[in-house]
Chains A and B, each alone.
Chain A
Amino acid sequence: MSENTEVEVGATMSPENLELLGRVSAALGAEAIIESAQAVGDLVVRVANASWREAAKACRGALGFNYLSFIGGIDWMPAPVVGGEAGDTSSPVQPAEQTYGAAGSAGRFQVFARVASTSVPRSGLTLKVDLDEESPAVDSWVSIYPGADWHERETWEMLGIGFNGHPSLRHLYLPAEFEGNPLRKDFPLLAREVKPWPGLVNVEPMPGEDVEEEAE
């Protein structure tokens, strides 16, 4: 697929995405847009934290994106190596330096969302917003897209990202007493720390197996 090479920031955009980017900056104001990129055919626009709510209003209003697909968060911190150096070799090892995806990021946390239009085929826009690293928070979209409610609750509990103006930020998936934010990269997956899995090597010998080894 030729679009594959266009992932890099600043690469050439398709005419449709350039046209959409023009409409986005007209509706939102050029100063609100920090960066934009194309990720495998889709337009990704990074907006300023202060303009996040305005961005939703522009999407639902002037841009005609009436459908909210999802809201989620990303922790760009490099993933720690599971189980130390001699530990689990079956888990993928991620690069040790902190790099950012399409349209970049100012720091560790980002919230991203996808909106689309149900009346225009092949429409859609991915929005990203930078957050403060110490106390990550951004304005809530609930009053614009009511469906944002659960997605924001999920992002809040999974990544510890606050949503200003959300009617009730409480746990969605996890028990009310749960502490920590599981999707943060520094939150260990305990099962993997305790025992390497799925075992490339079965660490526990099958019954009878150890006897044979001794005999050899």
Chain B
Amino acid sequence: MPKFEVDPAVHRGLADARLNVEIDNGDMILNLGPQHPATHGTLRLVVRLDGERVVASDVVIGYMHRGYEKLTEYRTYPQITTLINRIDWLSSFANEVPFVHAAEQLMGIEAPPRAEYIRTALTELSRIATFLLFLGEMGLQVGAITPAFYGFRDREYVLNAIESATGGRFHPNFNRIGGLKDDLPWGWIAETRESMRKVLKSCDEFEDLVVSNPIFQKRTRGIGIIPAELGASYGVSGSNLRASGVDWDLRRDGKPYLVYNDLDWKVWTHSDGDSFARYWVRLQETRESARMVLQLLDVMPSGPVMTKVPKIIKVPEGEVWVNTENPLGEMGYYVISKGATGPFRVKIRTASLSNVSIAPWLLRGVYLPDIITVLASLYFILGDIDK
């Protein structure tokens, strides 16, 4: 057997702890997690090592499976937004948008322009909040602790903006079918503009502190390369795929949603496809999102934030697929309605599940300390994997 080729028979059994004991071929089996600080939650990784190199690995997920697809069948449409807030808990607001759009499209209603603008602004704010955490924490994974403090500090500005508009820092539950719960509070626009300036400044700091840092570059460049075609066939999406040079962003290339077509922005790509590229792309996207929010604040239309909807929401029979570009990648809901107050079936497509499914392929031949940086650069949220 060639040195780094995966033996499918062994690879299959790795997840099973009972089998691990029986594999006796001199290689070392390393168990990472489920409770490990570098796995961002309860993700278990079983790695077979030859020396310091990974020969094969298996990802064991499901420690946080909450059965959302089943639960949606027992909820009414307005109740479901509370649930799906908790799928990707760092960008909860962005989770709500595709589901609410799905219900609205089936009902044949549209939210008023002001509501769509506020939704766009809050979606981009949650993207910034998500990415700022990544930008800081990625430094932590290579041993630099300062960026993590900066990331958490600057995320607070954004979370404050989200909180003052929605009332919730992490789980806004602010979307309603047909619009939003409330209008923006007084002074929000001026405050958010100030916060966005801080975010842009903070992006420059990350550029200096992390991107141009030779140690960081050594640890991330040329490691964990995702080839574009393979990534797409694995369903890898979002910044991870754009870092492999695929110029594909659902905000621009998907079915038009929210008000992205009215804004002046660009899609960032990087041709390398390694951990560094994924960091770099997210850094540029954070800047781009901050600029988008600034534009939105300038052109925010006036008017109502809620359209007329019946008191009891019944969604007509039909099915619809709505996918959006969430911070972690493509998130979508396939909603099947039979005309009741709740959906008949909701298939939830989460970004992290597909993004992490490439990990066993990606980690082959990687050195042990790089497992953490490669995983961190994929950037996943366990709630988004486990649903």
Contact = CB atoms under 8 A, between A and B. Distances in A.
How many interface residues does chain B have, given as a range? Answer: 35 or more
Nearest to B314: A92
A177 B79 CA distance: 32
Interface stretch (A47-55, A112-120, A131-139, A206-214): A112-120
Interface string B248-282: 10001111000000000000000000000000000
A126 B347 CA distance: 13
Contacts of B361: 146
A72 B15 contact: no
A99 B16 CA distance: 40
A118 B345 contact: no
Given A7-B317, A146-B230, A147-B235, A79 B241 contact: no
Given A60-B233, A95-B338, A146-B230, A82 B74 contact: yes
A192 interface: yes
Interface string B86-112: 000000000000000000011111100
Interface in A155-186: 158, 167-168, 170-176, 182-183
Interface in A51-108: 60, 66-70, 72, 74-75, 79, 82, 90-95, 99, 101-102
Tell me whether chain A's interface is mostly helix, strand or loop, or mixed: loop
B340 A69 contact: no
B130 to A, nearest CB: 21
Interface residues of A, number: 59
Interface string B369-387: 0000000000000000011
B13 to A, nearest CB: 9
A182 B241 CA distance: 32
Given A42-B320, A94-B338, A183-B70, 14 more contacts: A1-B105, A7-B318, A40-B319, A42-B321, A69-B332, A69-B349, A72-B334, A95-B338, A99-B317, A99-B338, A114-B334, A122-B253, A147-B234, A147-B236
9 contacts: A1-B105, A70-B349, A79-B344, A118-B228, A121-B253, A146-B361, A147-B236, A150-B354, A173-B61
Question: Lowest 6 A-B CB distances belong to which pairs?
Answer: A92-B342, A7-B318, A173-B62, A147-B234, A147-B235, A4-B108
Interface of A: 1, 3-4, 7, 39-42, 44, 60, 66-70, 72, 74-75, 79, 82, 90-95, 99, 101-102, 112, 114, 118-119, 121-122, 124, 126, 144-147, 149-151, 158, 167-168, 170-176, 182-183, 189, 192, 198
